[in-house]
Amino acid sequence: MHLKTFSQLNLIEPLLRAVSARNYDTTTPIQAETIPPLLAGRDVLGCAQTGTGKTAAFALPILQHISERPSLSKRPYIRALVLAPTRELAAQIGTSFEAYSQFLKIRQTVIFGGVRPSTQIQALKRGVDILVATPGRLLDLQEQGFVDLNQVEFFVLDEADRMLDMGFINDIRRIIKLLPERRQNLLFSATMPRSIAKLADSVLDQPFRFHIAPRKSVIPEIQQEVMFVEQQKKRHLLIQIIRENQVEQAIVFMRTKHRANRLAQQLYRARISVEAIHGNKSQAARDRALRSFRQGETRILVATDIAARGLDIHGVSHVFNFDLPNEAESYVHRIGRTGRAGRSGIAIAFCAPEEYVYLKGIEKLMGIQIPPSEFDQGWDGPTVEDKAVPEKQIKQTPTSLERQKPRPTQRNQVKQKSTHSRRKKASSGKSKSKSQLRFAAASS
């Protein structure tokens, strides 16, 4: 049963005060379902997309256990270890622990690569109760003798599927061998492929299982659209949408670091406030970019998939898939940056002819057909600089309820022939799509 308030979860008073200070009252489903078994000492396997409140779901029980069972040692030692795949997610989890423990005498710190370890080493020397870490830096400092995991009581593996995607599986196994056998384990993952299920079986002991959403679920708060546009016209289209629509704050996802830098420079020259974030940026630069974006000083954040998981940034009104991802599940994680915690959002995908196969993979995974934007001109439609097609011209021909693939331009005809032929046969005898109608109206 879904409990409606945190006060119904048997949390201690300091935690309730901390939750109230963050203006949280009603629980999310994952919090309502997993906090009670965690408080009871059970292992938990949670499958939930990002933005569902899972950080609080594991942070609050861990803080309560540590508070109720204080250590007899004068110097704190690591009692809880939380592993995260990226620096940004680790820092965000650390911030959440700090906020929830503000009325408790519990120490925590965050360690990750990309920065000098001196400050992190000093914090470890002073002693911490809770350690949030990325696998690489954790192993580095452990090998140097600064991290002792022999007394860990709580082990959290967050974004487990992302960990495996990034190649951390061997590091995770090494870390698990350093932990005591008797401990409480928590594993959270946005998806549950076989590799994660196998890892869970090796780590968890008769866990409480909670699945908040199937792999193919659609996030109802997010309005999804696709626009068929040639690769070289994407930049002009993006600028036009940003200027002419109410784009309060947006994240634009790119496939590579180089393309992210180049687009950020182009948007800057178009007098749009923008920052880029990707793996080649220093941690200080990434922190500055995220801080500027969170505070509303920057309107557009151009990012690679490093920002697609775990970042909780309120107020993101739009997500643009400037480059469609070649892995369908990455699309779900990307659009999850908007429409968070019940808010509404808009996700717009730009699909070039060579990316059409990626679009079909995304639609197959989600079990839906992403509708074309009402402003979509198709690959062979007018450029964004051309005059818009009058609405009365478009209405002269009835439209099909089933979207067809927009017709490719001449230079892409050979490349797209087989796919187009299959779609043409499948939709034989049906009326034209909206994109084709707009082009026909513009040409008449």
Q: pLDDT-based confidence at 342, cuts 50/70/90?
A: low
- pLDDT tier for residue 190 given thresholds of 50, 70 and 90: confident
- Alpha-carbon torsion (370, 306, 46, 63), positive or negative: negative
Confidence (pLDDT) at 252:
96
- pLDDT at 194 (0 to 100): 84
Average pLDDT over residues 155-170: 88
Tokens of 329: 């599940």
Q: What is the pLDDT of residue 416?
A: 43
Three-class secondary structure of residue 215 per DSSP: coil
Residues 6+ apart with CB under 8 A from 297: 273
Confidence of residue 341 (pLDDT cuts 50, 70, 90): low
* pLDDT band with cut points at 50, 70 and 90 for residue 347: very high
Q: Which pLDDT does position 95 carry in this prediction?
A: 93
Asked if the model's pLDDT at residue 1 lies above 60, the reply is no
What digits encode the pLDDT tens for the residues 242-266?
A: 998 878 899 999 999 899 999 999 9
Cα–Cα distance, 244 to 237 (Å, whole number): 10
Cα distances (angstroms) measured from residue 122 to each of 117, 390, 439: 9, 66, 64
The residue ranking higher by pLDDT, 263 or 166, is 263
Over the Cα atoms of the chain, what is R_g?
Answer: 24
- Please state the rounded mean pLDDT for residues 317-330: 90
Window from 5-19, 34-48, 207-221, 425-439 with minimum mean pLDDT: 425-439
- Range name among 216-225, 260-269, 421-430 with the lowest pLDDT average: 421-430
Average pLDDT, integer, range 47-54: 76
Question: What span, in angstroms and rounded, lies between the C-alpha atoms of 70 and 77?
Answer: 11
Residue 426 has pLDDT above 90, yes or no: no
Cα distances from 392 to residues 104, 316, 395, 396, 435, in angstroms, run: 65, 34, 5, 7, 15
pLDDT at 432 over 50: no
Reduced to 3 states, what is the DSSP secondary structure of residue 108?
A: strand
pLDDT, position 250: 94
Domains observed in the chain: 6-211 (3.40.50.300), 222-376 (3.40.50.300), 383-444 (no CATH)
- Residue 393 is predicted with a pLDDT of 36
Q: Tokens for 115?
A: 């920065």
Per DSSP, 4 falls in state -
Residue 315 pLDDT: 82
Mean pLDDT along residues 320-342: 84
Per the structure block, which two tokens stand in for 173?
Answer: 């196994």
The percentage of the chain sitting over the pLDDT mark of 70, rounded to a whole number, equals: 80
Percent of residues, the chain, with pLDDT higher than 90: 52
Is the per-residue pLDDT at 383 higher than 60?
no
Mapping DSSP to helix (H, G, I), strand (E, B) and coil, where does residue 187 land?
strand
- Residue 124's CB: how many other CB atoms inside 10 A? 18
Average pLDDT score over residue span 3-29? 89
**Residue 30 pLDDT more than 80?**
yes
Mean pLDDT of all residues belonging to the chain:
82
Q: What single string gives the DSSP state of each residue in 109-131?
A: EEE-SSS-SHHHHHHHHH--SEE
Alpha helices in 225-348 (DSSP H): 234-244, 257-269, 283-294, 328-335
Structural tokens at position 102: 């503000």
Structure confidence at residue 99 as a pLDDT band (50, 70, 90): very high
Q: Which has the higher per-residue pLDDT, 213 or 371? A: 371
Q: Specify the range with the lowest mean pLDDT, choosing from 4-18, 42-56, 162-176, 193-207.
A: 42-56
Closest CA to 229 of 419, 381, 440, 385: 381
